[in-house]
Structure 1
Amino acid sequence: MINSDTIAIYISNIAGLCRLTKFPGTLASIASLAASFLSYYFLGKAIYIFLFFIFLILGFWSINKVHRKSGRGDFQWIGIDEWIGMWLANFFLFEFDFTLTQAVVFSLMSFFVFRIIDIVKFIPPLQFINKDKNQKALPVLLDDIIAGCYAYLIVLMILNLFGFSDMYNLRYLYSSILILLPAMIANLVPPLLKMRYWNNPIHERLFGKNKTWRGFLGAIVFGTLTYLILVKYDLIAPAGNLSFAIFIGFLFSFGAIGGDLLKSFFKRKIGIRAGESWAPWDQIDYILGMMILTYPFYRYSFSQIIFLLALGGAISALVHRFGYIIKINSAKQ
């Protein structure tokens, strides 16, 4: 008899495909490579994106069902996560006008890049996610979604070298760092402020004792000042008059610290202690908050969003690791 548990297993192991080999992740990725290419070639961008979210929903549901029946963990025979990651990695196909041969060749390259990242897990925060052997559905999916994002970006940069675009170069990296800088400063300032004043927690039960008014206000002030300095020296797109520039700077800063607070709220909700690592959200919370509040003014493209998340997340991981070494932060992240 077919029930929801049977359907969940069927979806999670790609219709039994992942039980046919000792390399289920690779086989699932190959299947997704073929399916995503056909979707790109015959169905178009809108349906491709729609299918991605359908797979994401089905993946989350099916892995949750599997975990309820068999316990938590990223079981080897679960392949829907690799399917989703590979589907995301191949999104680069819509960025350029390829010939059929070019599309096939670069899709294969995307596959190899994705598999290397997914297997080796040398890029943060993949290694932190995989430390937990009793992962829930979301970390199981995030592992491959992040690998897919990195593969997508790496392929775009390789295509830049092949002359398909001159966008993804050092200038693009430099401008991306400048866009992130106000939010990064806002994110970095709170643990560095050593004032006696306003040191009360904003709401200890909701956000934890480490989220203080001192850090919140300091983040907004220093983040906004950073944006104003960038505008003054024409290092970032001008924002009109001074009042409007202050407003945009506030959005960058408030978005960053607001994203951090929202993450802390969810950490408390699911029982993660203050200071305990929660990858990848510890690395990208401030970027998500910043982009959400400033999107109406900056209109980030899909590739920009992925690039900023990857770049900002990597920088955040490195900075927090350094902070852990010099005893500013209590967790490595």
Structure 2
Amino acid sequence: MVNIIMVLYSIFLFLPAFIANPGAVITGGHFILDRGKTIHGKRILGDGKSLSGFIGGSLIGVLAGIIVYYIIYISNIGLGNYGNNIISALPVLFAMSFGSLTGDITGSFIKRRLGMKRGAKGSLLDQWPFVLMSFLFIFIFARHFFLEFYGNFIAIILILVLTPPLHRGVNILGYKLKMKDVPW
């Protein structure tokens, strides 16, 4: 039987991956990753993907994870954490955050290959690649954590279901705060 508390807790533990993306919006804009280069006349990634956003957003995700780690540690929830101590938690947090933004970049790469311009509505291409790549990075670099919290795949499915409305809401907020050009 599925423990719904653990599933919800697993979603909570995924916050660094969710936070890395808006972190990239906040820190981005410097050192465009593809430097304007194209493949078959189409930009590789576009101006929306920068080194400052990738690194800055990832580090904001890691920082968010450190905060979550200490909230769990101090509250003594007892359902598990990213690691036994903050040092052992860092590989999980780095995998989750850098995986998230690698997935975001992958989604942009696919959108450019499909001829979609920067800011074009890509539906699930804007939403699922960052989640899936984050899970892949966690699986590769922190398999013990992945198996403990996402091994039954129910939390993964719920995260995939929750991501589109959550992503949309955050993007609308970013648009209203004039941090994004489009609300999607």
Deviations 1:43-70 (A, max 9, x none): xxxxxxxxxxxxxxxxxxxxxxxxxxxx
- Are the counterparts in 2 of residues 187 and 219 from structure 1 also a CA contact under 8 Å? yes
Aligned to 1:273: 117
Q: Percent of aligned positions with the same letter in both sequences?
A: 28
Say yes or no: does 1:180 pair with 2:8. no
In the alignment of these two chains, the number of paired residues is 164
- Are the counterparts in 1 of residues 104 and 130 from structure 2 also a CA contact under 8 Å? yes
Question: TM-score normalized by structure 1?
Answer: 0.45
- Are the counterparts in 1 of residues 58 and 98 from structure 2 also a CA contact under 8 Å? yes
Aligned to 2:57: 219
Q: 1:192 aligns with which of 20, 26, 44?
A: 26
CA RMSD between the two structures: 2.2
Aligned to 1:319: 170
Structure 1 residues 180, 238: closer, same or farther in 2, change over 3 A? closer
User: How far does residue 219 in structure 1 lie from its aligned partner after superposition?
Assistant: 1.3
User: How far does residue 172 in structure 1 lie from its aligned partner after superposition?
Assistant: 4.1
Aligned to 1:201: 32
Question: TM-score normalized by structure 2?
Answer: 0.79
Aligned to 1:257: 101
Amino acid at match of 1:215: G
User: How far does residue 278 in structure 1 lie from its aligned partner after superposition?
Assistant: 0.2
Aligned to 1:332: 183
Q: Superposed, which structure 2 residues align to 1:64-79 within 5 Å?
A: none
Amino acid at match of 1:269: R
Amino acid at match of 2:67: I
Deviations 1:89-122 (A, max 9, x none): xxxxxxx6xxxxxxxxxxxxxxxxxxxxxxxxxx
The alignment partner of 1:234 has SS state of helix
User: How far does residue 180 in structure 1 lie from its aligned partner after superposition?
Assistant: 2.1
User: How far does residue 238 in structure 1 lie from its aligned partner after superposition?
Assistant: 3.9
Q: Superposed, which structure 2 residues align to 1:1-333 within 5 Å?
A: 167-168=3-4, 172-173=7-8, 175-193=9-27, 199-203=30-34, 204=36, 205-234=43-72, 237-295=81-139, 296=143, 297-299=145-147, 300=150, 301-333=152-184
Structure 1 residues 242, 303: closer, same or farther in 2, change over 3 A? closer
Could you tell me how far apart the structure 2 residues matched to 1:318 and 1:238 are? Answer: 27
Could you tell me how far apart the structure 2 residues matched to 1:177 and 1:241 are? Answer: 20
Could you tell me which runs of 5 or more consecutive residues in structure 1 were left unpaired when the two chains were aligned: 1-95, 97-164
